[in-house]
Amino acid sequence: MVKTGLSISPSVLVALFVGFGMAAVHPKLGQSSHADDAAMFWSDSQSEILPTGDLQWKPSPFAFRAVGQVRYVDFDNGTDTNPGTRDEPWKHHPWDANATDHAAKHGGICTYVFRRGVQYRGTLIATESGQPGNPIRLTSDPEWGSGPAALVGSERVTNWVQGVDHPDIPEPDCVWYADLDFQPRNLWCYGQDGDAVRIPLARTPNWQVSDPDDIKSQWYSFNNPDRKDVWGAKVEFGGIERPIGYDTVHLTQEADTYNDALIWSEYGWVMGTPYPSKVVHFDAEKRGIVFGGQWGNSIGSYHYPRHTRYYLEDKPHYLDDAKQGEFWFERRGAGGRLYLRLPGDADPNESHIEAAKRIHLIDSQSMNHVEFSGLDFRFTNVPFDLTKLPGGPDADPGCIRLRGNGQDITVSHCRFSDVHTAVRVQSIGEDTTIDQVRITDNVIGPTDHAGLVLHDGGGYGSEYPLGRLLDVKVLRNRLHHIGQRPTRYGQGHAIDIECAETLEVAGNQLSRIYGSGIFVFGGKRQEAKVDRPLTRILIHHNKVIDPLLNSNDWGGIETWQGGPAYVFNNISGNPGGFKAWGNLNHAKQAANSRFGHAYYMDGAFKQYYFNNIAWGKSSDPFDALGNTSAFQEIHGYACSIFNNTIYNFVIGSRRQSPVAGRNKYLGNLWQSIGHMVFRHADPKNLAADPNAADAGAQPSSYQHATNAYANNLFFETPEMLAVFEPSGRWHASVDGFRRALRLRGSLGDVGEQLNQSPLVDAAAHDFRPTGMATDKGVKVFVPWALYAPVAEWNFYHSGDDPTQIPDDHFYLAASYVDRTKYHDNPTYPLHAINLDDDAYERGPLEDWIPGAVRFNGIDQYATVAHEAFEVKSLPSEEPKLSNTQHAKITFEVPDRIHPGNACEVRLRLSDVPPGIRIKADLHWQKSGGGFGGVNANGGTGYVVEGEGPYVFTFDAKDKLGLGHYIVTAYLTPSGEWQDRVDLAQWKVPAASVQPTEGYPNASIRDSNFLIECYFKTQPQHAGGILCEKMSQSGYRLFVANEGGVTFQVAGQDEAASIDSRSLINDGRWHHVIVEADRKSKQLRIYIDGRLDAQGPGIGAVSLENQSDFYVAGRKEGHYLSGTIDFVRIALGTLADAKTAIEELYAWQFDGPFLKDFVGHRPIGRRDAGALERVDPMP
């Protein structure tokens, strides 16, 4: 039972906790509403935690539930004319197109029980839904049958014939065949132990995994003997620039052996996931094969250097493996002939062979309130064309698949083995929504494509994604051997969740993952121009071991885009990312063998990574096993990485594109780092002079003053400790690094170098701290996610300026489009008046920095000028464009072209003969200088009949990285581009695309909003402003004369005010939230985790005014005598944020960031690293 202090019925309690968080419930005034942390969902580790710093899988037990109508399905022994009872079951489920009679006619809400020990062979198309609290259930009963209740995509193949007459099959007497009316891409043989063994598709070489850290060690590789092709070659074929790989060692047969084969090849520079492509040409002279790139047939920007590994498959020539067995399928109409050679040349008539037939097992475009539990899913087929590009109904399969609308979908206690993807959910279509998805306690693997895929309706480059993915929970699943044969575009990620609004991923155990383990996008993808005011992601107590077996440039646990994302109490071990070509081509360069990371923030913003453990197998920068880094970041900012334990990596923390600053690295324990602890800039072969920091800093474009390095512990670290400046100079010692940081104005004291290990036995993965880590960690404040936060001040100053208090707010508003430029969006730092360093002190929320401001009540306050809120466009560098007038074509163009609008261009001609055609298109140039291509087509043009003007109208499009537009005009006799006889171009600047009403900020218009403040006053203080933006309209929060707080709002012809019931001017710290709910016209005050007062408010009138924003007073007076530690403003209520005061208060004052990996509260100050030292120690 939840301890709320309220008298609430069980049904209401259920409603409180349905979904990601608690619904906003307002307790009676004056009653306590504090919730015990044990009741909060994040406090359930979903795992068994070992004191040494390990996690074990802890699934909940399966419980058979049969509610309401119950119907039984027995595919082997049932008949559809039966009534569907346990004694007289159906053969088919009603969703199966093959169902007849009673089974076909049945519908509605029901529990369907599949017999255990029976394989159901069919596809279920779900078109029905249950009701809230009364779902449709598909399940199994442990007391009805024995063994798994399996839905399989295969058919058993019998009646094999020995000997084949195919001219290209080697040793035809060892090969058997069977004719089928379907086309399998996958095949399995049951062994004597009853386990199914995958039979490979005919391939060369006949490889298998012999090295667990290099699964491709038996593949062929391109030797590219010509020196000019060391870094890869390309050739134009069929009008497309394609990759070509040369292998003079293995490609020694005739062209027919290779043409039309499938090639699975790595590539560079990054990602490198082998993908299926067709061999379109064989260069017999140079022994090279031509094929397509991963993202289409073009090679694009990737390359295939010497030592790139590959193998070939799907040709009869390769059907020769008597050790592991192989098969090949020859298509004939809708079916064809299946050729098989079993291990040891066994007789398949004496074996049990399963051939994949069905791609989908359960499929739907709309289903609500449906539960799947206690079922097995096996042996799925895939589209026959493995090289198929995305698109079409079968392109992205899943055993349980939903593409459209859905709500309240549960998949639990199921097993998925030898399938493409276990569960795939995507909100495809206009105005589609998928909500309340629960995937728990499943066993998944092996799989070909992925494990769990849950996406919104967007995709790469989607400017206005249509479908939404709201609340998702993925808990206590076990995934093993995931993503072994991905699709053409696939990467083999295990848990892939993109753009859920609220998300919890916890208690999952992953091992032997071919792509990333846990791969999560928050909010929206870059390029999307939509507003995403709420994101709340929790990833905790997961264990990911041996990810990135088949690819690189990912993380064992990886987050993208917007937060807040709370990533805590996880383990990520031995991230792979091995690149044989990097290891061999760069043998003398450090950190080139692998590019895999334990944790990756890939263009990630507002991230909190704490209490995590990362371990590698090798820290040797030149070793093939050298694990690249524990933490990798690119482009992101507002990331706090604190109290983590890192052991045995080449690099501790990599940060690329660090220009934005705003990151914190605090209280981490770094042991056995081989090359560099902090690689936060591109290093040069230049060590910093030990005295250079005293001589003055070089110019830097990085925002160093908002970065923080504090309380880190270092043991067994390399000569190159850190690099963080654009110059690339590196610092060898903690003292030298500390001096350089201070010179740059960075925050905090970096930490200390240790001469003894701070870990009990890191090599044995006992990550308990020794006394060397005692009391050396940090306390960091981690606020709970709110709806559309527009200001957040933690009341520490920029490291080099006590008059500036940074604004740490972040949310993915519509103006956040290009992730490389997110930092250009405005923030609103407070300008401190009459404050110096002495006014800053350590507050109760954080202990690593003076992060609270003591206001004297006389003349000190902080402010944001109103002009800062009026910014509607960001300053940008005017492109320097030059044009040359063409002799025959004169352009009349606008001064600027506005993306998203139509623009008109007039062309006038001189000395152009009649009858020829004038055409024009709009192209675009990237800001970095690259050509973008066609932006808008100008149509069929005009037949010339004089000088003109000839008017063209273009619907100009905005593009990621847009620099300027180019109007391209040309004369062509045929009307075709390739027949052009004259061409002219004119460059036109692109107008800046900005929000029409400015950027969301603390100048409130007609939205809901709340103000959050953590502060204490001097005893008996009254009249001081906490924060306000008020003239005739606006809002104000201040300490009332009676000793409580008063919240006032005013708009046109409407005003309201509310006083708290509780007093707060007692000299103690208090947490206050006030909110204005404009729809219900209510004002509320919450004090110290309880609803203190509520009363009438105002409607949706604008509160906008010309006044400055003030904290702790204003220039005319009303100064606060007290101390402020935290202030936040958001454009929504707690209900808008899908939370409640109990949940927020419990998180912020008793959340997991205030405890260690095991859940221990610190004894005194927090110890460094993920675990707190607990006596007695062994």
d(CA 586, CA 1078): 62
pLDDT of residue 900: 86
Model confidence band, residue 456 (pLDDT cutoffs 50, 70, 90):
very high
Q: Which stretch of DSSP H or E encloses residue 245?
A: strand 240-246
CA nearest to 581, candidates 311, 307, 310: 307
Residue 708 has pLDDT above 60, yes or no: yes
- 649 forms bridges with which residues in the sheet? 673
Contact 995, 1001 (CB under 8 A): no
Tell me the range of 29-33, 291-295, 417-421 where mean pLDDT is highest. Answer: 417-421
Residues 6+ apart with CB under 8 A from 952: 904, 905, 906, 907, 920, 938, 939, 941
Portion of the chain with pLDDT greater than 70, in percent: 94
pLDDT tens digits along 845-893: 999 999 999 999 999 999 999 999 988 665 556 678 999 999 999 999 9
pLDDT tens digits along 557-572: 999 999 999 999 999 9
d(CA 182, CA 379): 14
CA nearest to 434, candidates 134, 136, 129, 151: 129
d(CA 818, CA 899): 15
Distance from CA of residue 310 to its chain's centroid?
29
Q: Is 361 exposed, middle or buried (0-12, 13-18, 19+ CB in 10 A)?
A: buried
- 656 forms bridges with which residues in the sheet? 634
Name the strands in the sheet holding 889-892, side by side, starting at the edge strand that comes first in the sequence: 889-892, 902-909, 950-955
DSSP secondary structure of 1156-1176 = -TTSPPPSSSPPSSSS---SS
Residue type, 528: A
Contact 905, 918 (CB under 8 A): no
Contact 92, 84 (CB under 8 A): no
Mean pLDDT, rounded, for 693-698:
50
pLDDT tens digits along 932-959: 889 999 999 999 999 999 999 999 998 8
pLDDT of residue 874: 59
Instruction: Return the SS3 of 867.
Output: helix
Contact 482, 449 (CB under 8 A): no
- 178 forms bridges with which residues in the sheet? 338
DSSP secondary structure of 102-128 = HHHH--SS-EEEEEET-EEES-EEE--
Q: What is the DSSP letter of 1044?
A: S
Q: Give the residue with greater pLDDT, 789 vs 20.
A: 789
CATH code of domain 155-202+320-356: 2.60.40.1180
Q: Give the residue with greater pLDDT, 87 vs 958.
A: 87
pLDDT of residue 24: 38
Whether 889-989 and 789-795+830-871+999-1154 are alike in CATH topology: the answer is: no
pLDDT of residue 11: 31
pLDDT of residue 1058: 98
How many CA atoms are closer than 13 Å to the CA of 1017, on its beta-carbon side? 27
Contact 849, 708 (CB under 8 A): yes
What are the residue boundaries of the structural domains of the chain, listed by start?
A: 155-202+320-356, 220-313, 559-576+594-769, 789-795+830-871+999-1154, 889-989
Model confidence band, residue 22 (pLDDT cutoffs 50, 70, 90):
very low
**594 is written with which tokens?**
């692998």
Residues 6+ apart with CB under 8 A from 558: 516, 517, 518, 519, 520, 597, 599, 600, 601, 602
Model confidence band, residue 752 (pLDDT cutoffs 50, 70, 90):
very high
Mean pLDDT, rounded, for 881-908:
94
CA nearest to 658, candidates 744, 779, 742, 738: 744
- Give Cα separations from 267 to 208, 553, 577, 600, 618 (angstroms): 20, 12, 12, 21, 24
pLDDT of residue 877: 62
Contact 326, 203 (CB under 8 A): yes
889-989: CATH topology is Immunoglobulin-like (2.60.40)
d(CA 242, CA 300): 8
pLDDT of residue 747: 96
Q: What is the DSSP letter of 388?
A: P
Residue 25 has pLDDT above 70, yes or no: no
pLDDT tens digits along 594-636: 999 999 999 999 999 999 999 999 999 999 999 999 999 999 9
d(CA 188, CA 413): 24
Alpha helices (H) in 529-679, listed in sequence order: 580-585
| The three-state (H, E, C) secondary structure of 471-525, written as one string | EEEEECCEEEEECCCCCCCCCCCCEEEEEEEEEEEECCEEEEECCCCEEEEECCC
Bond preceding residue 184 cis, omega within 30 of 0: no
pLDDT of residue 7: 26
pLDDT tens digits along 629-659: 999 999 999 999 999 999 999 999 999 999 9
Sign, CA dihedral 94-96-97-98, equals: negative
Mean pLDDT, rounded, for 328-347:
97
Contact 675, 700 (CB under 8 A): no
d(CA 251, CA 312): 10
| The three-state (H, E, C) secondary structure of 946-1013, written as one string | CCCCEEEEEECCCCCCEEEEEEEEEEECCCCHHHCCEEEEEEEEECCCCCCCCCCCCCCCCCCEEEEE
Mean pLDDT, rounded, for 10-38:
34
pLDDT of residue 692: 47
d(CA 232, CA 224): 7
Q: What is the DSSP letter of 456?
A: -
pLDDT tens digits along 479-528: 999 999 999 999 999 999 999 999 999 999 999 999 999 999 999 999 89
Residues 6+ apart with CB under 8 A from 332: none
Residue 998 has pLDDT above 80, yes or no: no
Residue type, 82: N
Residues 6+ apart with CB under 8 A from 554: 271, 491, 493, 515, 516, 519, 547, 548, 577, 596, 597, 600
Mean pLDDT, the chain, rounded, equals 93
789-795+830-871+999-1154: CATH topology is Jelly Rolls (2.60.120)
Mean pLDDT, rounded, for 204-211:
98
